[in-house]
Amino acid sequence: MGKRRYQAIMGMPVGAVGVLCAGGQLVRIDYLPHQPDVSTDDPTAIAVVEQLRGWLEDPFFRFDLPLALAGTAFQQRVWQAIVAVPCGSTRTYGDLAQALHSAPRAVGQACGANPYPIVVPCHRIVARSRTFNGGIGGFSNATDGYLLDIKRWLLAREAEASSMSARVRRRA
């Protein structure tokens, strides 16, 4: 596969994301190594970047983006199940597989095929075994490298936000 032409690239605390849009819909978000931001005049890409920034400010942010239809019927079922996992929580590949009457490996493959990471927060799906990458499993079809660093950061960030939210609720 050749180099993708992104409508926008947005820096994150860990790496960057490339935003690819077509026909007024989000086609995919790709995790990238650190690189300069690339702005856009594409209205859909602008909306994606604005919502990603909203999510960076508040991990509980709810996305409302036009997503291009992608994936098989099974992948779409997995992605819908992933969206239902609350911020700050995790589920194992096995948990999702059991709920979907499938196999953990199939769920993992669907997670790896997710074209909308962060929007469909596949980082919340982790391995049951603590011996596989410290229990976090793979990420975006990778089992090592900067993509796992991104998954660790995403999980830690959401856990911290959930913990802070719980403390605020207890004080109220």
Which helix H or strand E contains 98, and what residues bound it?
helix 93-99
- Pair of tokens at residue 119: 């929007």
How far, rounded to the nearest angstrom, does the alpha carbon of residue 121 sit from its chain's CA centroid?
4
3-class state of residue 38 by DSSP: strand
Q: Which of 21, 87, 111, 122 is catalytic?
A: 122
User: What's the half-sphere exposure (Cβ side, CA atoms, 13 Å) at 30?
Assistant: 15
Residue 132 Cα distances to 76, 126, 136, 144, 156, angstroms = 26, 9, 7, 11, 18
111 is catalytic: no
Catalytic residues: 122
